[in-house]
């Protein structure tokens, strides 16, 4: 079986810090190679491919100010499609644009839908319902208008996360985009109400929000902001925390940081939107709460959560190995129907 993995080109694959879609594409490519599958990864030229790398865009457009995103995307997608016949299956992680090639090629295309940026993109997915296969990354993130072949949870390289059975720091952590959707301000309020220190980490996606709502609360002592973090720093940050705060304000398809925290043994306190009740076992691997006040009460109750249970749950559900085994099953089902 020859599989082409189409990664986005906003960031390097795997990303240096932020880039969840690129990270998943890398994890799948690496995991499939371990299963004996012949894989070509289509990503940026500076990517660290675990297999054959094919590229036409030298670096991620979010990391290269001189790059034009639309031009990069056009060159990248067409480069794969022009050689689609060399593969048995294309696994698309590039959202809806590659679907528009699907009637022009014979190779079946599986698209992992990493979330819907807007309902306005749904007509493209609907148009290719009969031609392409769709996988959701959570049951919560499904449109009734689309036909899905499976739900496959994102899988992480568990060896990158160190289980810490005792978070003696008592510190809370927020890890994610600094954006209203992610609830950064709410996370700080939870920490203040709990009289706990909090470290904020992640890219600033909404500068005005950061300037107006977050920066005035940063004092360098109780509230710290350390910017985006790479794999090693992320592991240490999450593993030493008493809890990850995830008070999201949108229907999140899948929270990578939620799974990452639990792999380290760190419980998660989250608002119950989107996929959170699929990722978190309430009162076993964290708490699902509906307000800042309830979250502060959950902080006081963290002692009832077993960090060993958090780790075991995450390994059983969100590992690279499980994800790749699930995808390989989907691949075989698609190819058998041809």
Report the pLDDT value the prediction gives residue 126, as an integer from 0 to 100.
97
Q: How far apart are CA 31 and CA 23, in angstroms?
A: 12
pLDDT at 169 over 80: no
Report the pLDDT value the prediction gives residue 152, as an integer from 0 to 100.
98
- pLDDT (tens digit per residue) in 116-135: 988 899 999 999 999 999 99
Kindly indicate the confidence band of residue 156, based on its pLDDT and cuts at 50, 70 and 90.
Answer: very high
pLDDT at 337 over 90: no
pLDDT (average), residues 134-141: 98
What secondary structure does DSSP assign to 212-273, as a single string? IIIGGG--SSSEEE-----HHHHHHHHHT-SEEEE--SS--S--HHHHHHHHTT--EEE---
Provide, rounded to the nearest whole percent, the portion of the chain with pLDDT above 70.
Answer: 100
Provide, rounded to the nearest whole percent, the portion of the chain with pLDDT above 90.
Answer: 95
Average pLDDT, the chain: 96
- pLDDT (tens digit per residue) in 205-250: 999 999 999 999 999 999 999 999 999 999 999 999 999 999 999 9
**Main-chain phi, psi angles of 331, to 5 degrees:** -55, -50
Kindly indicate the confidence band of residue 167, based on its pLDDT and cuts at 50, 70 and 90.
Answer: confident
Domain with CATH 3.40.50.2000 in the chain: 2-155+320-336, 158-317
Report the pLDDT value the prediction gives residue 216, as an integer from 0 to 100.
98
- CATH number for 158-317 (one of 3.40.50.970, 2.70.98.60, 2.60.40.10, 3.40.50.2000): it is 3.40.50.2000
Query: Residue 283, Cβ neighbours under 10 Å: how many?
Result: 13
Domain 2-155+320-336 bears CATH identifier 3.30.300.30: no
Report the pLDDT value the prediction gives residue 118, as an integer from 0 to 100.
87
């Amino acid at each position: 079986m020859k599989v082409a993995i189409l990664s986005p080109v906003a960031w390097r694959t795997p990303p240096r810090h932020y880039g969840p879609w690129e990270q998943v594409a890398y994890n799948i490519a690496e995991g499939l190679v371990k299963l004996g599958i012949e894989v070509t990864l289509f990503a940026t030229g500076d990517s660290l491919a675990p297999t054959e790398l094919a590229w036409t865009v030298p670096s991620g457009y979010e990391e290269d100010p001189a790059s034009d995103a639309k031009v990069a995307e056009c060159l990248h997608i067409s480069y794969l499609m022009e050689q689609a016949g060399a593969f048995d299956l294309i696994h698309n992680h590039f959202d809806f644009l590659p679907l528009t090639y699907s009637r022009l090629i014979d190779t079946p295309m599986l698209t992992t839908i990493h979330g819907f940026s807007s309902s306005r993109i749904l007509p493209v997915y609907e148009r290719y319902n009969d031609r392409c296969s769709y996988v959701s990354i959570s049951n919560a993130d499904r449109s009734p208008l689309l036909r899905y072949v499976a739900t496959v949870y994102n899988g992480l390289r568990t060896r990158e996360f160190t289980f810490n059975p005792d978070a003696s720091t008592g510190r809370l952590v927020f890890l994610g985009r600094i954006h209203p959707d992610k609830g950064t301000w709410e996370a700080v309020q939870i920490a203040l109400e709990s009289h706990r220190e909090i470290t904020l980490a992640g890219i600033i996606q909404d500068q005005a929000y950061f300037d107006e709502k977050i920066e005035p609360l940063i004092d360098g002592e109780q509230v710290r902001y350390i910017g985006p973090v790479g794999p090693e720093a992320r592991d240490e940050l999450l593993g030493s925390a008493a809890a990850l705060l995830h008070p999201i304000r949108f229907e999140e398809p899948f929270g990578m940081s939620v799974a990452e925290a639990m792999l380290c043994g760190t419980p998660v306190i989250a608002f119950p939107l989107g996929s959170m009740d699929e990722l978190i076992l309430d009162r076993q691997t964290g708490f699902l709460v509906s307000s800042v006040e309830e979250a502060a009460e959950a902080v006081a109750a963290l002692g009832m959560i077993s960090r060993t249970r958090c780790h075991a749950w995450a390994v059983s559900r969100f590992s690279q190995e499980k994800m790749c085994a699930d995808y390989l099953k989907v691949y075989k089902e698609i190819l058998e129907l041809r």
